[in-house]
């Protein structure tokens, strides 16, 4: 029961993430969600950055708690090593994201290659890589080992969508389309929706996703 409570924090984290995004852009009248990245909402010197930062902190803490809960679940259920590793990637991603973005928010001049901004970019790169690894590893593990076919396929689809949307970021910048805010949202919102879904499935133990395929052996 206690593990289920931890796993419910995934849904809570997503709620706080969306609050930080939509409240932040609503309070900042000049902010354009199509052209401006989400990190600008909490960049040093941005309007309401301290207030919005509270929501991102709560989001990050809740995400770590969720990841701890689901890693614990994977060991308790004796999942395969590949699935366990996938969830460990999730835990690493949430911890690095929580600590990294808190230590290295964007500087007021986002275009400057300052130490602050470089570290922010590095943290983002590590976070994206761990996210993709997490999704592919649990997807493959669910399908090949745990035989949670539906959940595995959804995990793989989420990973592919994040890669496709992620590629749109540099392409849009190179073409001068000025839609970085939109392409970034496609990536992050896909992940957050999947996290909410995964948290829901585990919290309420939805058997249609967490039971072995009937055609598979136990």
Beta-carbon neighbour count of residue 101 at 10 Å?
Answer: 21
Evaluate if residue 1 carries a pLDDT over 50. yes
Contacts of 218 (CB under 8 A, 6+ apart): 212
- Residue 2 is predicted with a pLDDT of 86
- From residue 86, alpha-carbon distances to 17, 103, 138, 155, 179 in Å are 22, 26, 5, 11, 31
Q: Which residues span the domain enclosing 39?
A: 3-209
Residue 155 lies in a domain: yes
Dihedrals phi, psi of 192, to nearest 5 degrees: -65, -40
Quote the number of domains for the chain.
1
- Residue 107 is predicted with a pLDDT of 86
Evaluate if residue 218 carries a pLDDT over 50. no
Contacts of 196 (CB under 8 A, 6+ apart): 10, 11, 14
Residue 197 lies in a domain: yes
- Token digits of residue 78: 């004796």
Average pLDDT over residues 9-32: 97
Residue 214 lies in a domain: no
As a whole number of angstroms, the distance between CA 212 and CA 198 comes to 17
């Amino acid at each position: 029961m206690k593990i289920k409570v931890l796993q419910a924090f995934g849904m809570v984290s997503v709620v706080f993430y969306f609050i930080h995004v939509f409240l932040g852009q609503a309070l900042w009248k000049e902010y354009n969600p199509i052209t401006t990245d989400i990190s600008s909402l909490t960049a040093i010197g941005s309007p309401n950055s301290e207030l919005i930062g509270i929501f991102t902190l709560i989001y990050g803490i809740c995400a770590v708690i969720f990841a701890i809960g689901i890693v614990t679940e994977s060991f308790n259920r004796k999942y395969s090593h590949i699935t366990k590793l996938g969830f460990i990637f999730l835990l690493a991603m949430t911890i690095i994201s929580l600590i990294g973005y808190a230590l290295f928010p964007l500087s007021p001049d986002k275009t400057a290659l300052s130490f602050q901004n470089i570290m922010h970019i590095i943290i983002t790169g590590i976070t994206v890589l761990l996210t993709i690894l997490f999704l592919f590893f649990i997807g493959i593990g669910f399908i090949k080992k745990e035989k949670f076919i539906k959940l595995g396929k959804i995990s793989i689809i989420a990973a592919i969508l994040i890669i496709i949307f992620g590629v749109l970021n540099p392409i849009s910048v190179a073409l001068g389309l000025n839609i970085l805010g939109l392409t970034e949202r496609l990536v992050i919102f896909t992940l957050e929706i999947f996290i909410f879904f995964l948290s829901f499935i585990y919290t309420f133990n939805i058997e249609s996703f967490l039971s072995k395929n009937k055609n598979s052996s136990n």
